Amino acid sequence: MEREAEKYIREHGMIRKDDVVAAGISGGADSVCLLFVLCALREKLGFRVYACHVNHGLRGEAADRDEEFVRRLCGELQVPCRFFHENVELTARKRKQSHEEAGRALRREAFETMCRENGCTKIATAHHRDDNAETVLLNIARGTGLKGLCGIRPARGKWIRPLLFAGREQIAEYLEEKGTGWCEDATNSEDIYTRNRIRHHILPALGQQVNTGVSFHLNELARQACDVWDYLEAGVDQAWKNCVSVTRAGAESAGAGLAGTDLNGAGLEIDGRAFAQEMPAVRTQLVRRCIAFVRGEEKDIGAVHIEAVERLFSRPEGKMSSLPGGVCARRTRNGVSIRPAGADKEQTAEEKTEEVTLQIPGVTKIPGENREIVCRFVENADVKTAQDIPQKSYTKWIDYDIIEYSLSARTRRAGDYLVINKNGGRQKLKAYYMNEKIPREERERLLLIADGGHVVWIPGYRMSRAYQIGSGTKKILEIKLTEERKDVRDDQSAGPGGEG
């Protein structure tokens, strides 16, 4: 056992010289075996061992006997031990969790406390081969993807499982050779827990009626699934760089990852064209990662939510899908955005362009952007000829004499309107945006050239009919935006939805 454990530890790089290992010791056979193995290897591999025991306050005197047993055993083996007393039942009620979930969370918190206060660098648990087989079967029965087939990892970060190679029988034989006892938890023999039913009935039946090596083969399946999963994750890492732009606190960055990220107010957009180039398996996991990034956790993200996001790529702009944890996905012009529900107003408020009066003639810098607005008077222009000149989305000629106040560049305000026909018919800007099906998150960002509350021109969309040059025009002003934006449509059609 000890030779195999040493080989397994070295193979997976679990423990290095000068590590301090916090081992979870409940007093059961598995954890007692773990403690003996670690103690046998500590001098040879050059690490120290601490024990961590959590009394859940559920089993009364039996739990106190387990604690006393661990205290004596640690004394005999000269292992420092910390004892944590928790009320699992109360915690489960407060956190709205099952006893199992609350117990696991409290054990994790105890381990993390030892890492902070005792300098522990690794956390060792006593999971073994049969535990892993039960986990894989449980995941399959509940419905799982490739990740669920990976079961329990030998090592992940500071969490290590030095006994994952060993079966339950091998552990019992080792303890008999050591001549030591252990504590039996009465709840382990009850069938009230799903895992216990798999342990007592399903795995034994598979072993007796299908293959005696079922536990070994399920572990081998988990190992292969881990290899495939790691390869897939590398593909998702690259896809994240290719497809995802992250917006955080008004800033935007491409290819940002989860590590070290402040998730407060974070949102992101998946580029549709780049996303379509990825393999289906990569796309699925990329969407899962994107939802988890915005939520801050992966819990409760199911296949149905991932499919809902993927369907948005083929739907019209503005279509939405609600996701778990108060997250919303929305079809945008270039792909799909994922952000906290209700974050649009907060984000767009930050993205509003500060109002700036245009220099006429002259060059006006748009605050916070790389674009400039260049204004000049067109001298000696023939009005009829000017009407026939093709005008790009970023250049317009207007009747300067119509201007009532002064021209400014800004984003929308309440009460904005534009004239939509030659009879002077008005349309509220909000109604125009809705008719054009412009997504809500874009409405606050669109740049406007305005004369007071009268919108003269929405670059890339249309201009007000009131300012168009005609036979009575005496002075023509040319307004030109530099550095065209890729997300603005080049629509030169006449009529209510285009530019006359």
Residues 412-434 pLDDT 10s:
887 889 988 888 888 899 888 88
The neighbour count for residue 435, using CB atoms within 10 Å, is 11
The arithmetic mean of pLDDT across residues 108-119, rounded, is 96
pLDDT tens digits, one per residue of 474-497 = 888 888 888 644 443 333 333 333
Q: Sorting pLDDT into bands at 50, 70 and 90, what band is 262?
A: very low
User: Which pLDDT belongs to residue 189?
Assistant: 75
pTM equals 0.64
pLDDT at 309: 93
Compare 370 and 314 and report the one with higher pLDDT.
314
For the purposes of burial, counting CB atoms within 10 Å of the CB of 239, is it exposed (0-12), middle (13-18) or buried (19 or more)? buried
pLDDT in tens, 214-229: 999 999 999 999 999 9
Burial 347-382 (b: 16+ CB within 10 A, else e): bbeebebeeeebebeeebebeeeebebbbeeeeebe
* Predicted confidence (pLDDT) at residue 400 exceeds the cutoff of 50: yes
Residue 70 pLDDT class (50, 70, 90 cuts): very high
Beta strand spans in 17-142 (E): 20-24, 48-55, 81-85, 122-124
What is the mean pLDDT of the segment spanning 381-400?
A: 68
- Give 243's Cβ-side CA count (13 Å radius): 27
Q: Which residues are annotated as a binding site for ATP?
A: 26-31
- Of 190, 127, 135, 138, the closest CA to residue 161 belongs to 127
Listed in sequence order, the residues at least 6 apart from 490 whose beta carbon sits closer than 8 Å to its beta carbon are 392, 393, 460
Q: What pLDDT score does 385 carry? A: 58
Give the integer Cα–Cα distance in Å for 335 and 287. Answer: 12
pLDDT score of 349 more than 60: no
Question: 2-212 in CATH: which number?
Answer: 3.40.50.620
According to DSSP, the residues that pair with 395 across neighbouring strands are: 480
Which residues, 6 or more positions from 338, have their beta carbon under 8 angstroms from its beta carbon?
A: 267, 268, 269, 270, 290, 291, 294, 309, 323, 327, 328, 329, 330
Token pair 């007093």 in the structure block, residue = 27
Residue 56 is given by DSSP the state -
- Phi, psi for 52 (deg, rounded to 5): -130, 120
* Coil, helix or strand at residue 335: strand
pLDDT at 388: 58
The most confident of the ranges 21-35, 265-279, 312-326, 387-401 is 21-35
Q: 149: number of CA atoms within 13 Å, CB side?
A: 15
Angle at 367 between CA 365 and CA 370, to 5 degrees: 65
Q: At what angle do helices 29-45 and 168-178 cross, to 10 degrees?
A: 70
Has residue 178 got a pLDDT over 60?
yes
**Binding residue positions:** 26-31
Average pLDDT, integer, range 373-397: 71
CB 408 within 8 A of CB 359: no
Residue scoring higher pLDDT (142 or 120)? 120
Cα distance between residue 443 and residue 268, in whole Å: 18
**Token digits for 414?**
């309440």
How much is the pLDDT for 179?
92
In the chain, domain spans: 2-212, 228-348, 352-481
